[in-house]
């Protein structure tokens, strides 16, 4: 689970201020944090297929947000990819 403090840090870092929690960059950063927290669980528990489905849904949502951002503003897309250390 992502803590409220960590979520607030990500909102402040990627949203510009404390109130911009719905921005595309903020949503991508929070999803990335959730994915990073869940990944070790699935490395240990390979047969947790229902949980893996939830992880795949998170990855798909992040992918669609990244695609939207790349079509809307290529510079912001490149910046978030480099800051979060994602492949693309």
Residues in the chain: 88
Which of 63, 66, 64 has the alpha carbon at shortest distance from 77? 66
Q: What is the pTM assigned to this prediction?
A: 0.91
**CATH code assigned at 62:** 1.10.287.10
Residue 86 has pLDDT above 90, yes or no: yes
The total of structural domains in the chain comes to: 1
- Rg for the chain, CA atoms, rounded: 14
Residues of the domain holding 63: 4-84
Q: Is 77 exposed, middle or buried (0-12, 13-18, 19+ CB in 10 A)?
A: buried
pLDDT tens-digit series, residues 35-62? 999 999 999 999 999 999 999 999 999 9
């Amino acid at each position: 689970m992502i803590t409220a403090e960590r979520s607030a840090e990500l909102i402040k870092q990627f949203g510009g201020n404390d109130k911009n929690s719905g921005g595309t960059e903020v949503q991508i950063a929070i999803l990335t944090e959730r994915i990073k927290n869940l990944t070790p669980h699935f490395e240990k528990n390979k047969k947790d297929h229902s949980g893996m489905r939830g992880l795949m849904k998170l990855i798909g949502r992040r992918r669609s947000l990244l695609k939207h951002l790349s079509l809307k503003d290529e510079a912001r897309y490149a910046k978030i990819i480099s800051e979060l250390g994602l492949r693309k």
